[in-house]
Structure 1
Amino acid sequence: MIIVDAHQHYWQPSRGDYDWLADAPALLQRAFLPADMRAERKAAGVTFSILVQAAPSEEETRYLFELAELDPAVIGVVGWVDMEANDVEARIDALIRDGNGLLRGLRPMVQDVADPAWLSQPSLDRAFDCIEGRGLSFDALTSTPQFPALFQRLQRHPHLKVVLDHAGKPAIGAADTALWSDWIDKLSQHPQLHCKLSGLLTLLGKAAGEQLIEPYVAHLFARFGAERLMWGSDWPVLTTHASFSHWLELALELTGRYAPGSQADVFAANAARFYALDLGVAQS
């Protein structure tokens, strides 16, 4: 079975544009590059990857294009652009050109923006118009504080292809998860919104058992269905809690439990459709 990792990172801290790493676990404060991933990907049987930005700079997006040239398994990049720039259309076009077919989507780091309503600001309309007009997708790195703004953005751009990263980062194990569940119910009614089955293990507390993620996975399958969920490793962030192979095996098991017979969709076909990937060409 072809497996597409719909959410993977590489980074090089010496570049100097990963400010968030200063507060990250020490395990992550080093370079993670193609040479670190090849053996793990091969051992797990994963065929392709989508690289996702990890720094709020267009330079890092171009760096990911360079790394993709060194890693034949990478068949797409989700980059970053200054969404509020006066020349945002030109910037997006330049990234499309420089990516030579690799740029599949864009992701502002919304969770790090101080204003939870930022995503709904009219000043971003031009950027979203361009993303949609160029056939790109939007990765929504959001959690419950930004969900109202995401909902407004979905209403304003009903045809935009959007994927919710890491299931919207639920507070797994918290006493009250109704807010996350209620918003997932509401957001999932937007037919263009997809969701990544990724990042859940890293939301667990240190002493929490991985079985705690199961109710959240069940809710995602109930609301998005197997046709709008796509698996991602969130490697190397994943390494703080589990191995690449372990998360893949666990996700396959949970998918078999809540959507029997749909592994080919969740682990490849949905990502291919969403990011407009030709997996046959990529294999040749």
Structure 2
Amino acid sequence: MIDTHQHFWRLSRRGYAWMPEDLPALNRDYEPKDLRDILNDTGITGTIAVQADDSVAETEFLLSLSDAHPWILGVVGWVDLEHADATRILTALAEHPKFLGIRPMIQDISDPEWMLRPTLAAGLNRLVELDLTFDALVLPDHLRTLARFMERYPDLRVVVDHCAKPNLRSGALDEWRDGLAAVAAHPNSFCKLSGLVTEAPPGAGLAELRDCLDHVSQLFGPNRLLFGSDWPVLNLATDYAAWQRIICQYIDETPRLAQDTIGQLNPQFAYTRLSQHCTNPNGAGA
């Protein structure tokens, strides 16, 4: 079982502009040593570390952690796609076998149609050429644009983070349902079962999340769904083991989710460069 979405950060590196200073649960260092015992206790054999800061230095930091810890199987980093050297930077980063793709923090970009800017085209086409993935950190009101984006770049693998953050507190889900369906219609789209408890009312469990999970699993099916914890942001709502239990219980109770596919929660479909690391991460099977 692989966790396809977790973070590390070291506050002395600066950055992390999104992080609220009044949340001590987040505003502290989170390093591999803080996660290792949790993974052992929950049977997670490897993870993908995802960027939490908009800088190439962040990507290099995460790759250095992956070099030191074999169970960090891959890194989803960050590159400024509008930079004149974007294609060169992507090519250089792709020399590292654990560099899997990039994640622009679209939810924080003021232009709602940023994805469609022609200035991104060279970098996006280079992602395709390098067999890398584009993680989409989006909100429900970005989904229609994301579907248009995928029409423009049909060969680009796109992973929707956190199920596009449905507004589970208000229950206003129509825009999210329709928009996610438009994205899922593209066969190169994938979705992470992650980040839902932090969008839900306090104390939410499977009963409160079931309708959302049903919609996502019907749209994407077992071969395009990935498990992610969103640790340590997850800690704002619940603990790692509790979130894993929610997802595993949902899989067990949902016949259309084949146990031998999503049950193994294997991300190679989306992150193809990961396959060389998944067969024996730290001595354990994936």
Aligned match for 1:186, one of 182, 188, 199: 182
State yes or no: 1:202 paired with 2:195: no
* Per-residue CA distance 1:170-211 (angstroms, 9 max, x = gap): 001324211101112221111110100000011123365553
Corresponding position: 1:252 with 2:251: no
Q: Which residue of 1 aligns with 2:14?
A: 16
Take 1:249 and 1:217, find their aligned partners in 2: how far apart are those partners?
Answer: 14
Name the SS for the 1:28 alignment partner. Answer: coil
Q: Quote the residue 1:171 is aligned against.
A: 167
Q: Which residue of 2 aligns with 1:117?
A: 113
- Structure 1, unpaired ranges of 5+: none
Alpha carbons 1:141, 1:165 under 8 Å: kept: yes
Contact 1:47/1:73 (CA < 8 Å) preserved in 2?
Answer: yes
Residues 49-107 of structure 1 show CA distances to partners (whole Å, capped at 9, x for unaligned) of 0110000000010000111123221111000001100111101112123xx21101111
What is the percentage of aligned positions where both structures have the same residue?
33
Which amino acid in structure 1 is aligned with residue 279 of structure 2?
G
State the alpha-carbon separation in 2 of the partners of residues 205 and 131 from structure 1. 37
Cα-to-partner distance string for 1:236-257 (whole Å, 9 max, x where unaligned) = 0011111111111110001122
Q: Larger deviation: 34-43 or 22-31?
A: 22-31
Offset at residue 148 of structure 1 (A): 2.3
Alignment map for 1:25-104 (pairs within 5 Å): 25-97=23-95, 100-104=96-100
Query: Quick one: distance in 2 between partners of 1:141 and 1:23?
Result: 22
Q: Which moved more, 1:200-209 or 1:9-18?
A: 200-209
Alpha carbons of 1:264 and 1:34: their partners in 2 closer, same or farther (altered >3 Å)? farther
The alignment partner of 1:105 has SS state of strand
In structure 2, relative to structure 1, the CA distance for the partners of 1:267 and 1:237 (3 Å cut) is farther
Confirm or deny: 8 A CA contact 2:206 2:250 kept in the other structure.
no
Unpaired segments ≥5 residues, structure 2: none
Task: Give the superposition deviation at 1:266.
Answer: 2.0
Q: State the match for 1:126 in structure 2.
A: 122
In the alignment, is the contact (CA less than 8 A) between 2:141 and 2:175 conserved in 1?
A: no
Contact 1:230 1:268 in 2 (8 A): no
The one-letter code of the counterpart of 1:15 is: R
CA spacing shift, 1:171–1:205, aligned 2, 3 Å? same
Instruction: Report Cα offsets for 1:237-282 as digits up to 9, x if no partner.
Output: 0111111111111100011222466244225454022212222254
Separation of aligned partners in 2, 1:210 and 1:25: 26
The structure whose residues are more often helix, as a share, is 1
The number of residue pairs the alignment matches comes to 280
Is 1:137 equivalent to 2:133 in the alignment? yes
Change in 2 beyond 3 A, CA 1:262/1:25: farther
TM-score calculated relative to the size of structure 1 = 0.93
Instruction: Work out the CA distance in 2 between the residues paired with 1:132 and 1:92.
Output: 11
- Distance change (3 Å), C-alpha of 1:259 and 1:28: farther
Q: Distance in 2 between matches of 1:92 and 1:68?
A: 18
TM-score, normalised via structure 2 length: 0.93
CA distance in 1, matches of 2:21, 2:150: 31
Task: State the AA in 2 paired with 1:280.
Answer: T
